Structure 1
Amino acid sequence: MQLELRHLLAIRRIAEAGSLGMAARRLGISQPALSAQLRRIERVVGGELFLRGPRGMEPTQLGQFVLAKARRVLDEMDSLGAEARGLVPGGPLRLGCTLLVLVDELLDRTDTVMVGQELSVDVGFSVTTLVRALTAGQYEAILYGEVNDHRVALPDTSDARTVVPCEPFCVRLSAGHPLASRDTVDLADLADEQWLAQAEDDDGGPEALIAACAQAGFTPRSRHRTTDRKIGHELVAAGRAVALTQPTAGAAPGTVLRPLAGTPITGRIRLAWNRATVTPAQANLLHRAAALSYLALLDTNPFHREWWDAHPGLHPGVD
């Protein structure tokens, strides 16, 4: 067997994730398949690349050598598409987004703010996939979320700007839930609930929920996972799950949104773009469109408007 780009990518993903399970999810394959692939790669290079340590899968000395080479090759391949596209100015801008609440509003805002600029918007579920597409030149810009202290690693060829520095996540409950009548909900009171797993599992959200629940004295249980908002809302309405939600999320039949006491989980919205294909003026317009899209949703839930007005230092700068 000869090493291929997919093998180098697998090595890099394992190193980034620190676990085979997380790396497999980000690569879109099963953990047993990734484990078997790693063993084949190790046979080719002649030794173990990773050992399980206190911080997860850690590269051996050989692994560090191979990983450095893999990153160099992958970075060169990633820049090829972006640099080639940069030689053809004036084309349409392609924006990739995670499933943020503001995306629906963004479609209208970009038409208004970026008059005359051809723009396409794609929605995905993985921040990792969006970053790789940005690096490879498949998108000129991406809009994504980060939760709590999580920071998305961006390519050196990109610039980034924060759209919303902080928003307090809330919880969606069935309208018939015993806690639905409260103004705020303590996370500890949700210890016995089933949580709807988040579609975006590489934005720091799952880790933030686990950490916050641990602080509240329990481990969250997740039974359901869906990327379809309607199905997720139906599961919550039926009382089969509760869900962590952005505070600008809209109403759904049979459900209510309630803020979490003490704001244990917060989100951040970021815009990143390829310097070779997006001008500073275009980046400013994209940022303005995203910021206006978010501001248009502030009155969706009165509790969030109240929180927002009490934190003026977090407001995006929009002329």
Structure 2
Amino acid sequence: MQLELRHLQAVCRIAEAGSLGGAARRLGVSQPALSAQLRRIERVTGGELFVRGRAGVEPTALGQFVLAKARRVLNEMDALGAEARAVADGTPLRLGCILLVLLDGLLAQTDRSMSGREITVDLEDSVTTLTRMLGAGRYDAIVYGEVNDHEVPLPEGARARTLVAKEPFCIRVSARHPLAALDRIALPDLAGETWMALVEDDDGGPEALSAACAAAGFTPLLRHRITDRKMHYDLIAAGRAVSLSQPTAPDVPGTVMRPLVGSPVTGRIRLAWMRSALSGEQAALLYRAAARAHLANVGNHPFHQVWWNAHPEAHPALD
């Protein structure tokens, strides 16, 4: 038997998972099948690659050697695929996103920074769908959000960078609402309101909203889940609902944006890509384009500009 890429991937997954069972689940095979494959690999390499330890399996000295070589080979293969796609004529960069404010300016920024490469952008309502399609090869990269401490699991072979480490969500209410006259709104004052349900339900947002409202002494009444921006804003302007909003969202006639006292709900924006689809250079260009698209909206509301200036740790790393 000769070693193949799938054998190297199996060895790496075992090391990453720390157990045969965990690695088998990641690889989508049974544990007995993976154990048999590992024995065949060890016959080729000439000795045991892993031994059982207190916390699972641990690589032997030979295992460490094979792992180092395997990771190098797999990284080279990922780079080969990504660089070949980048130079191939007519190969678009396939980007998936949830509905983020920065999306409106992202294409203009990529046109400037990515040398006119064709880019396709698809919107999804689910972060889970985004990550699944990233792993399946439908998307080369995705831009998505995470709320409070929620972390979105990524598929094998993906890398990620944080665009915005933390931003406080705001509240959008009708301009005729009594609370619209305030500079900041306390969450308990919204206890009797009808809320717009969050579009994404798997980014930690619903749990964060429920927890924040529970801490404020009430359960939010969620009645509307609308993906159409105009209808969303029209309902709020009419006084029929309130909603959480990114602080970079634009002004909309008939509505106002206000920060929440204590910033009980915060968001994080991330970029993830498949190493086999995007080279490091292409990923860096896309990161900078997304970061500039976000920065273009930071000044939409003076209160957020003040917050942003006071929190440099939240800024994207453009150096």
Report TM bin, short chain: 0.7 to 0.9
- In the TM superposition, structure 1's runs of 4+ consecutive aligned residues that sit over 6 Å from their partners are 67-70
Partner of 1:89: 85
Question: Cα RMSD between the aligned structures?
Answer: 2.1
Separation in 2 of the partners of 1:71 and 1:293? Answer: 35
Amino acid at match of 2:165: P
> How many angstroms apart in 2 are the aligned matches of 1:167 and 1:204?
14
Q: Deviations over 1:212-267 (max 9, x none)?
A: 11111111110111111111111111111100000000111210000001111000
Shift of 1:68: 8.5
Task: Identify the residue that residue 189 of structure 2 maps to in structure 1.
Answer: 189
Are the aligned partners of 2:165 and 2:313 in contact in 1 as well (CA < 8 Å)? no
Match of 1:264 in 2: 264
Aligned twin of 2:198: 198
Structure 1 residue 313: deviation in Å? Answer: 2.1
- The match for 1:9 is none
What is the number of equivalent residue pairs in this alignment? Answer: 247
The corresponding residue for 1:145 is 145
SS in 1 for 2:181: coil
In 2, Cα distance between equivalents of 1:313 and 1:137: 33
* Structure 1 unpaired stretches of 5+: 1-64, 75-81
Q: Distance in 2 between matches of 1:89 and 1:182?
A: 52
Amino acid at match of 1:181: A
Paired residue type of 1:127: V
The letter of the residue matching 2:226 is T
CA contact 2:110–2:286 (8 Å) conserved in 1:
yes
Q: Which has the larger radius of gyration?
A: 2
Give the alignment of 1:235-274 within 5 angstroms: 235-274=235-274
* Sequence identity percentage: 59
SS of the residue 1:179 aligns to? helix
Q: How far is the alpha carbon of 1:200 from its aligned partner?
A: 1.0
Give distance in 2, aligned partners of 1:143 and 1:255.
27
Matches within 5 A, 1:1-319: 72-73=27-28, 86=81, 89-90=85-86, 91-319=91-319
- Matched residues in 2 for 1:224 and 1:216: separation? 21
Corresponding residue of 2:48: none
2:217 aligned counterpart, secondary structure: coil
**1:99-150: per-residue Cα shift (whole Å, max 9, x none)?**
0011001111111111132221111111000000000000000000000011
Query: Structure 1 residues 265-274 or 198-207, which shifts more?
Result: 198-207
Distance in 1 between the 2:113 and 2:27 partners? 38
Match of 1:3 in 2: none
For residue 167 of structure 2, give the secondary structure of its aligned residue in structure 1.
strand
Go from structure 1 to structure 2 and tell me whether the alpha carbon gap of 1:186 and 1:286 turns closer, same or farther (over 3 Å shift): same
Between the aligned partners of 1:126 and 1:291, the Cα distance in structure 2 is 22
Alpha-carbon shift at residue 86 of structure 1 (Å): 3.5
- What is the match of residue 53 of structure 1? none
Give the aligned partner of residue 40 of structure 1: none
> How far apart are residue 156 of structure 1 and its match?
1.9
Q: Distance in 2 between matches of 1:116 and 1:193?
A: 47
Alpha carbons 2:97, 2:142 under 8 Å: kept? yes
What is the identity, as a one-letter code, of the residue corresponding to 1:93? Answer: L
SS for the counterpart of 2:155 is coil
For structure 2, the 5+ residue unaligned runs are 1-20, 30-76
CA distance in 2 between partners of 1:259 and 1:100 (Å): 18
SS at the partner of 1:278? coil
Residues 18-52 of structure 1, C-alpha deviations (whole Å, 9 max, x = no match): xxxxxxxxxxxxxxxxxxxxxxxxxxxxxxxxxxx
Q: Which residue of 2 aligns with 1:14?
A: none
Tell me how far apart the structure 1 counterparts of residues 302 and 279 of structure 2 sit (CA, whole Å): 37
Match of 1:106, SS state, is helix
Q: Deviations over 1:155-181 (max 9, x none)?
A: 121000000001110000000101000
Show CA shifts across 1:57-102 (max 9, x none).
xxxxxxxx9x99775339xxxxxxx98x938633321010000011
Cα distance in 1 for residues equivalent to 2:81 and 2:236: 46
